[in-house]
């Protein structure tokens, strides 16, 4: 093991590679700002996101309302922050839950030969459904709450993690240290969790970052179609859906939530690319 770098050296190399491209550093800063603004929405927001005022209906952005007011005279800037809280939580929740399910399925498929074929075919079949379509069907049955949307999207994206975990597990399982652990009589679950999992974390983290981004897009799509989170909860998708009928008089109503989604998804994808290059320099392709 002499050739292995020390953890400190690895960490330094990781950070060096992660920030080698300034775009990644920039993306991390932007994402941190968005996340903090939304997390502290109740402190930062200029006013109550639910306060209606008929007089201020569809006010253009200006001194009174930085980003304008919607059809009920509610402050768009405040709604954007509170909606972001929901949209980001859905993305994070889906990324975490689909990783958990995907890791369990993938490890089992990679470790137990009898389970491999059935689980792999199941993953193939799940991935044959386009994500929005499967999510629509699942939400229509589960009902449209934030938790159910997270659940539905986690079911949609878990197969992607499972496929990657299975492929990596098949490689790691054959390595000498796993064989050694088996020979020492370490139980199979312990080998899976303590020896295999730490070695396949990188691709999981990278994929989870991308799923975070896709889930935010999918949630916005579901809310736009009116089959996602209940419209009374503002999300960036529902804001676009509500603003749609006023698009000719007040295009800003759908402009800002669209920009908010796009920037969040863009920085997440940049972070995912950066993580992929830094965690596995062999894979680094200048895509």
Site for other proteins, rule CB under 8 A = 121-122, 124-134, 136-143, 213, 217, 220-221, 224-227, 237, 240, 244, 247-248, 251, 254-255, 258, 261-263, 265-266, 269-270, 285-287
Cα(264)–Cα(112) distance, rounded to whole angstroms? 39
Are 166 and 109 contacting, i.e. CB atoms less than 8 angstroms apart? yes
Cα(228)–Cα(221) distance, rounded to whole angstroms? 8
Nearest distance in Å: CB 189, other proteins: 27
What is the b/e burial string over 247-281, where b = at least 16 CB atoms within 10 angstroms of the residue's CB?
Answer: eeebebbbbbbbebbeebbebbbbbbbbbbbbbee
What is the b/e burial string over 182-209, where b = at least 16 CB atoms within 10 angstroms of the residue's CB?
Answer: eeeeeeeeebbeebbbeebebbbebbbb
Q: Is 75 helix (H, G, I), strand (E, B) or coil?
A: strand
Which is nearer to other proteins, 99 or 264 (by Cβ)? 264
Nearest distance in Å: CB 148, other proteins: 11
Place of tokens 């974390």: 201
Cα(137)–Cα(78) distance, rounded to whole angstroms? 32
Which is nearer to other proteins, 191 or 203 (by Cβ)? 203
DSSP string, 99-152: HHHHHHHHHHHHH-HHHHHHHHHHHHHHHTS-HHHHHHHHHHHH-SSHHHHHHH
Which is nearer to other proteins, 124 or 280 (by Cβ)? 124
Strands (E), the chain: none
Cα(68)–Cα(252) distance, rounded to whole angstroms? 8
Nearest distance in Å: CB 139, other proteins: 8
Nearest distance in Å: CB 44, other proteins: 24
Nearest distance in Å: CB 41, other proteins: 21
Nearest distance in Å: CB 132, other proteins: 4
Nearest distance in Å: CB 105, other proteins: 14
Which is nearer to other proteins, 193 or 251 (by Cβ)? 251
Nearest distance in Å: CB 284, other proteins: 12
Determine the longest span between alpha carbons in the chain, in angstroms: 77
């Amino acid at each position: 093991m002499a050739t292995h770098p020390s953890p400190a050296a690895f960490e330094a190399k990781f950070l060096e590679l992660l920030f080698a491209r300034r775009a990644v550093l920039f993306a991390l800063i932007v994402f941190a700002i968005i996340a903090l603004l939304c997390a502290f929405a109740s402190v930062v927001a200029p006013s109550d996101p639910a306060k209606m005022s008929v007089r201020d209906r569809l006010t253009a952005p200006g001194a009174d309302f930085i980003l304008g007011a919607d059809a009920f005279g509610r402050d768009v800037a405040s709604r954007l922050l509170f909606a972001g809280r929901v949209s980001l939580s859905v993305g994070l929740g889906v990324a975490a839950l689909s990783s958990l399910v995907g890791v369990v399925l993938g490890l089992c498929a990679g470790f137990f030969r009898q389970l491999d074929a059935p689980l792999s075919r199941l993953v193939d079949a799940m991935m044959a459904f386009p994500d929005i379509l499967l999510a629509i069907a699942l939400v229509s049955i589960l009902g449209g709450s934030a938790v159910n949307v997270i659940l539905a999207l986690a079911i949609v994206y878990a197969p992607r993690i499972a496929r990657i975990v299975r492929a990596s597990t098949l490689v790691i399982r054959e390595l000498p240290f796993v064989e050694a652990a088996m020979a020492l009589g370490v139980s199979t679950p312990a080998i899976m969790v303590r020896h295999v999992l730490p070695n396949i974390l990188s691709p999981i983290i990278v994929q989870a970052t991308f799923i975070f981004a896709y889930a935010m897009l999918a949630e916005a799509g579901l809310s736009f179609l009116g089959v996602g989170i209940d419209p009374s909860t503002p999300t960036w998708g529902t804001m676009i859906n509500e603003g749609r009928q006023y698009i000719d008089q007040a295009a800003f109503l759908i402009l800002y939530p669209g920009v908010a989604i796009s920037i969040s998804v863009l920085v997440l994808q940049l972070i995912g690319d950066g993580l992929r290059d830094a965690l596995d320099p062999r894979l680094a392709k200048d895509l």
